Amino acid sequence: MRNLYLFFRRHYIYFLFLLLEVVSLSLFFNYNEFQNAAVYKLTTQLSGSVNSLFRNVSEYFTLGKTNQTLTQEIAQLQARMPEAFYKADTSAFFIGDTMYKTEYWYIAAKVISNSTNKRNNFLMINKGRIHGVENNMGVVIGNRIVGQVVGVSKHFSWVMSVLNKDSRISGKFKKNDQLVNIEWNGGSYRYGTVKEIPKHFEIKKGDTIITSGNSEIYPEGFLIGTIEDFTIAQDDNFNSATILFATDFNSLGYVEVVIDMMRKEKEDLKASFHTK
Amino acid sequence: MIYKNAIRFLVLIFLQVLILNHISLSGYINPYLYVYFILLLPFETPYWLLLTSAFAIGIGVDVFSNTPGLNAAASVAMAFSRPMVIRSVSSGIGPDYTGTPSIVNQGMKWFFYYAAFLILIHHTVLFYLEVFSFREFFATLLRVLLSSAFTLALVFVAEYLGFRRK
């Protein structure tokens, strides 16, 4: 017993080292569970307040750019207003028409922290649970994609950027609906990789890739990017290509969270199918 | 001595999360100047205190950058290897230094090797842990080397600006 005590006493530093490393690594690898812990909610509040303080100052330097983006978005929205459409016969509509029920709703949010230089990038936005944000909601800017909500606290949310190791986006070619997956392999924040393009499929530089709507995160038809370059694989059944992202991830001021009003219905349907 | 280090601890965390985390050069370079705190802990700091204060500053940075445990793991690894690095860069029987490590007290060459080795250890653990795959081995290696060089440059700038007098 005494020898054991002496052993610990002599080598306590190695045990301390191991203990601290085990604590750090278990925090790191149990990241997803950690997000649900109460302590995480507290730290998110804290870092959210500090980051928004910083953002309040730095925002002034990018006001011009922000104005420009907002103006563009207003223009796009005006194009979607009822007034922008030609009315053939208004008497064909009646109140409560289920054909025109809203499927997606958007909440505007301010980006209070953002990065593009890490392997796994995240954004923090100033909308949280009390505003109706939930996990796995999509985040877009105009008609371009930004990321996916992965953590929600009372007033803030963490968004996993497209520029992340764990980010997989289900997309398709606009010209013929060919489904592909888009990933980011690090390096420049402007380029991603398109995977699983079948051999027989003809790729051209400049082909547009949009969201497929299969993942229930982004609605269908949001812009992902355009093909910049591609390689024909010799020993594989699939080709891959480099995509130039439509989104400028380095200058995000305001973004919108996509709320799918029919998400519960879709999930219930899926769950009822899987249990049988 | 304790006050100086405590102030340095806070200043470096805020410098890291408010300014340096937002610096992005060509998608590869990401400086982590907060390790300067671990570099400047006095020689006579007990080993256990070295490890726990490295853990504390790592966790502090983690809390603000949404990477629980990542910076803490790298900082603890760096602090753990500090005495060995000191022993190997001070050729001969071993260091009999006291006080804060600095260019003025230990000389340019000593401080360069000391800081370079420790920063390299820290950044290697940090970047490979973040990626957690050897599939992108060389891309990550490039990021480690470029970022280490940048952090080292910042450490020297801070050293000459007399940051440590804070």
Local confidence band at B165 (pLDDT 50, 70, 90 cut-offs): low
Does residue A97 register a pLDDT over 60?
no
Per-chain mean pLDDT for chain A: 81
Per-chain mean pLDDT for chain B: 86
Local confidence band at A269 (pLDDT 50, 70, 90 cut-offs): confident
Local confidence band at B166 (pLDDT 50, 70, 90 cut-offs): very low
Nearest to B64 among A24, A47, A119 (CB): A47
Inter-chain residue contact B73 with A47, CB threshold 8 Å: no
What residue type is assigned to position B148 of the chain?
A: S
Interface test with chain A among B24, B66, B81, B84, by most A beta carbons within 10 Å: B66
Strands (DSSP E) found in A131-206: 138-141, 144-152, 157-161, 169-173, 179-183, 191-198
pLDDT at A94: 47
Inter-chain residue contact A116 with B27, CB threshold 8 Å: yes
In a 3-state reduction of DSSP, which class is residue A241?
Answer: strand
Name the most confidently modeled range: A42-56, A58-72, A213-227, B49-63. B49-63
Interface pTM, i.e. ipTM: 0.85
Which tens digit of pLDDT belongs to each residue from B46-93? 999 999 999 999 999 988 877 888 999 999 999 999 999 998 888 765
Higher pLDDT: B23 or B129? It is B129
Which tens digit of pLDDT belongs to each residue from B72-82? 999 999 999 99
Which tens digit of pLDDT belongs to each residue from A153-193? 888 888 999 998 888 899 998 888 888 899 998 878 889 99
Higher pLDDT: B165 or A122? It is A122
Does residue A48 register a pLDDT over 90?
no
Higher pLDDT: A274 or A94? It is A274
Enter the pTM of the model.
Answer: 0.70
Q: How far apart are CA A191 and CA A2, in angstroms?
A: 62
Q: How far apart are CA B76 and CA B125, in angstroms?
A: 10
Q: Which residues from chain B sit within 8 angstroms of residue A188, using beta carbons?
A: 26-27
Does residue A133 register a pLDDT over 80?
yes
HSE toward the beta carbon, residue A204, CA cutoff 13 A: 6
Inter-chain residue contact A13 with B51, CB threshold 8 Å: yes
Inter-chain residue contact A24 with B69, CB threshold 8 Å: yes
Which tens digit of pLDDT belongs to each residue from A231-248? 877 777 788 889 999 998
Inter-chain residue contact A20 with B51, CB threshold 8 Å: yes
pLDDT, average across residues A7-36: 81
Within 8 A by CB and 6+ apart from B74, the residues are B58, B122, B123, B125, B126, B129
